[in-house]
Chain A
Amino acid sequence: MEEGPVSIELEPAAPGSGKWTGALLEVRDLSVTFQSDDGPVHAVSSISFDLEDNETLGIVGESGSGKSVTSMAILGLLPRQAMVTGSVKLRGRELVGLSDRAMQPVRGKSVAMVFQDALTALNPVYTVGNQIGEAIKVHDDVSDQELRDRVRNLLEIVGIPNPAERADQYPHEYSGGMRQRAMIAMSIANEPEVLIADEPTTALDVTIQAQVLEVLERIQDRTKSSIILITHDLGVVAGVADRVLVMYAGRQVELATVDELFYNPRHPYARGLLASLPRVDGRRDARLNRIIGQPPSLIAIPSGCAFHPRCNDAKLPSPCQTDRPELREIAVGHLSACHFAEDLPKLSTSDLAADESSEDGSVG
């Protein structure tokens, strides 16, 4: 349904053949539905995007907007009850519908994940070194000595002091920032082509956040991998992403380069997010703009444009309440799902937020 800049490949290359010329990761019409007692929950509806080599794509949205579910769907990690449709292609190889067994060689090897809360995401009963080593061992047949060396090396890369000793410690003996680094070390153990980082800095102090992001960037320079950075924090996205995908109620509402999005947002929701960022140069007494209301229930997504009940620019009832806006290209590489994408006034400089320095520009 999307008519983006995306060209639909007629002939996907055979899996594994090195001749693939399309994007590294192609996501098309990805939808995820759960059954609940109150009816189907549309956690993700028709998401499509490309991830290019060595690119960092930010996925932004409030909690419940479907960003984490999207990433879990890519790796096939959702519970069996989840109904996943659409297509996810890694170098032309279809991942949706693969069995657990068939996905195993992909997970942690080609596509790896960094999870939000490293305290719960690391197994409390095994040492950090054991858990990083496991990531290597499941994909690679290595000797014990080599395994130890590689684990130590990985811990060193992410900046953990005394890596040899630290490898033998348990997650609860690490500080929050160190745990997150260990988590990253684990995810890059096999130099994956795609690294999905799901809110990697949310649980951390601001200073530690910056360090962790710095580690991610350094790794990307080293391994040339592509990163999908999932966050509710526009400040984080501004600092590291090349392009940004904005999600609302499981739908994609805007996709643009980071500069385009910050200076020329074409969806009222994205504009609302930007306007709610605190400004470093702002007047002390200036009140933060905020988006009124609450994110909708995914069981009862509002008709038409899901955002219309909270939108200041909505034309009611028609079309915003009656017609669901399609995601369409409004400028080269800039997609928006708003009926009035072109008509929105340009964001005035006073509405504009300071970008890089806005650490607390969270929207969740």
Chain B
Amino acid sequence: MLTYAARRVLYSIPVILVASFLLFAAVRATFDPTARLAQSRDPQVQQRERERLGLTDPILVQYGDWLKGAVHGDLGQSSASREDVSAMISRSMGNTLQLIVIGALVSAVIAIGIGVYSAVRQYSALDYVFTGLSYIGVAMPPFWFGLLAIEFFVVQHRWLLSVGLHTGDSTSFDLDYVKHLVLPVATLCVQIIASWSRYERASMLDALSADYVRTARAKGVPRRKVILKHALRNALIPFVTVVALDFGALFGGLIITENIFAIGGMGRLFYNAILVGDVYVVQAWMIIVAVFIIMFNLLADLIYGVLDPRIRLS
């Protein structure tokens, strides 16, 4: 297991380097940090600024400089607010991680629950209900779900809250926090739960019709244990892969969710940066999010290894 884990970690390093370079180059090609100086009366001003920022160097050199800074925690300054990008990001990351981690866990638990139930009780009334809901969940734009949820739960019934994660300056994890958290997490997860539950249902059906499940039943293993020990354990293996693939979508969903619910996190940071063309923020954002997604993928890989001895031992 240890060598397996070490190998996975080593593999992810070149992926991070290549991905971050390409993202760096792509963002640089799109945004010009000196764009606002273009109207300047003295054309030299923009040129001098370009030289000061090192924009005249080859892109690879620029990337090298940026990477050197990044390793030391220096991600440059926001071209809009002149604030340190690293400070902006670390301020936003807290809220975002709460949403992502809670969202991923909630989604996985609900999707597995629904998937297992629907597979075990295939063609039951509740299975049809879940299938119908999953069709709607997949087809519904999450932002619309968020708007409807605010309209119903906050405006009409005042059961939940829809601005930020806390009331006032509070930072405690209390009922107020939960009331803030429910809707953003639901908005972030609704589509993912719908698609994961369908996937889990399918892989659970596969597992239930597998030969080893028949063997377990032939041994006299009670039904409940056949489902949980034999079928579910195997059905989780492909499920983990799908979960890993969707981390990108989760981060993308943050841009929508944090925007609707006015949560100061990474999604909102990106949204604002794009609007004003804040190149250093966008650049750092893309690369840091990519690193996070790769790390979540790595985690999924390791879980995969734990679940499947064939992978771990090969």
Partners in one complex: yes
Stretch at the interface among A100-108, A245-253, A288-296, A310-318: A100-108
Given contacts A100-B223, A120-B212, A170-B313, contact A125 B308 (CB under 8 A): yes
Contact of A107 among B218, B225, B233, B309 (CB under 8 A): B218
The reply to whether A77 and B214 contact each other, CB–CB distance below 8 Å, is yes
The reply to whether B308 and A124 contact each other, CB–CB distance below 8 Å, is yes
Q: Give the docked Cα–Cα distance between A107 and B223 (Å).
A: 12
State the Cβ distance, B198 to closest chain A Cβ, in Å: 22
Q: Give the docked Cα–Cα distance between A212 and B233 (Å).
A: 30
Chain A neighbourhood of B211, CB < 8 A = 115, 117, 120-121
The reply to whether B212 and A123 contact each other, CB–CB distance below 8 Å, is yes
Q: Give the docked Cα–Cα distance between A131 and B237 (Å).
A: 19
Name the residue of chain B whose CB is nearest to the CB of A71: B218
Stretch at the interface among A38-46, A132-140, A146-154, A270-278: A132-140
Contact of A134 among B221, B223, B307, B313 (CB under 8 A): B221
Given contacts A120-B212, A123-B234, contact A173 B308 (CB under 8 A): no
Which of chain A's residues 108-134 have a Cβ closer than 8 Å to chain B?
Answer: 108-109, 112-113, 115, 117, 120-125, 131, 134
State the Cβ distance, A77 to closest chain B Cβ, in Å: 6
The reply to whether A107 and B220 contact each other, CB–CB distance below 8 Å, is yes
A57 contacts the other chain (CB 8 A) = no
Chain B neighbourhood of A120, CB < 8 A = 210-212
The reply to whether B222 and A138 contact each other, CB–CB distance below 8 Å, is yes
Q: Give the docked Cα–Cα distance between A107 and B237 (Å).
A: 28
Given contacts A77-B217, A123-B212, contact A172 B222 (CB under 8 A): no
Chain B neighbourhood of A72, CB < 8 A = 214
The reply to whether A124 and B218 contact each other, CB–CB distance below 8 Å, is no
State the Cβ distance, A306 to closest chain B Cβ, in Å: 28
Name the residue of chain A whose CB is nearest to the CB of B209: A79
Chain A neighbourhood of B225, CB < 8 A = 138
Contact of B218 among A77, A101, A139 (CB under 8 A): A77
B216 contacts the other chain (CB 8 A) = yes
Chain A neighbourhood of B223, CB < 8 A = 100-101
State the Cβ distance, B281 to closest chain A Cβ, in Å: 45
Count the A residues whose beta carbon is within 8 Å of the partner chain — how many?
32
B44 contacts the other chain (CB 8 A) = no
Given contacts A123-B234, A124-B308, contact A107 B215 (CB under 8 A): no
The reply to whether B220 and A106 contact each other, CB–CB distance below 8 Å, is yes
Q: How large is the interface on B (under 10, 10 to 19, 20 to 34, 35 or more residues)?
A: 20 to 34
B230 contacts the other chain (CB 8 A) = yes
Proximity string of chain B (231-248) to chain A, C-beta cutoff 8 Å, 1 when within and 0 when not: 001100100000000000
B310 contacts the other chain (CB 8 A) = yes
Interface centre among A72, A125, A138 (most CB of B within 10 A): A125
B36 contacts the other chain (CB 8 A) = no
Q: Give the docked Cα–Cα distance between A195 and B193 (Å).
A: 45
B82 contacts the other chain (CB 8 A) = no
A75 contacts the other chain (CB 8 A) = yes
Contact of A124 among B219, B222, B309 (CB under 8 A): B309
Proximity string of chain B (290-314) to chain A, C-beta cutoff 8 Å, 1 when within and 0 when not: 0000000000000000011110010
The reply to whether A121 and B214 contact each other, CB–CB distance below 8 Å, is yes
Given contacts A120-B212, A125-B233, contact A107 B308 (CB under 8 A): no
The reply to whether A112 and B218 contact each other, CB–CB distance below 8 Å, is yes
Proximity string of chain B (180-223) to chain A, C-beta cutoff 8 Å, 1 when within and 0 when not: 00000000000000000000000000000011101111111111
Contact of A170 among B216, B217, B309 (CB under 8 A): B309
Q: Give the docked Cα–Cα distance between A108 and B214 (Å).
A: 12
Chain B neighbourhood of A75, CB < 8 A = 218
State the Cβ distance, A235 to closest chain B Cβ, in Å: 25
Q: Give the docked Cα–Cα distance between A112 and B230 (Å).
A: 18
Q: Give the docked Cα–Cα distance between A349 and B271 (Å).
A: 89
Q: Give the docked Cα–Cα distance between A139 and B222 (Å).
A: 10
Name the residue of chain B whose CB is nearest to the CB of A106: B220
Q: Give the docked Cα–Cα distance between A334 and B171 (Å).
A: 86
The reply to whether A108 and B310 contact each other, CB–CB distance below 8 Å, is no
Chain B neighbourhood of A170, CB < 8 A = 309-310, 313
Q: Give the docked Cα–Cα distance between A246 and B5 (Å).
A: 54
Given contacts A120-B211, A123-B230, A125-B308, contact A173 B219 (CB under 8 A): no
Name the residue of chain A whose CB is nearest to the CB of B312: A170
State the Cβ distance, A140 to closest chain B Cβ, in Å: 11
Q: Give the docked Cα–Cα distance between A100 and B214 (Å).
A: 13
The reply to whether B220 and A124 contact each other, CB–CB distance below 8 Å, is no
Q: Give the docked Cα–Cα distance between A105 and B217 (Å).
A: 11
A186 contacts the other chain (CB 8 A) = yes
The reply to whether B310 and A124 contact each other, CB–CB distance below 8 Å, is yes
Interface positions of B (Cβ within 8 A of A): 210-212, 214-223, 225, 230, 233-234, 237, 307-310, 313
Interface positions of A (Cβ within 8 A of B): 72, 75, 77, 100-101, 103-109, 112-113, 115, 117, 120-125, 131, 134-135, 138-139, 170, 172-173, 183, 186
The 8 sampled A-B contact pairs (Cβ below 8 Å) are A77-B214, A113-B218, A120-B211, A121-B215, A123-B216, A124-B309, A125-B234, A138-B220
- When A and B form their complex, which 3 residue pairs have the shortest distance between CB atoms, in order from nearest? A108-B220, A108-B219, A107-B220
Known: A75-B218, A115-B218. 9 other contacts (CB 8 A): A101-B222, A103-B220, A112-B219, A120-B210, A123-B216, A123-B234, A125-B234, A125-B309, A170-B310
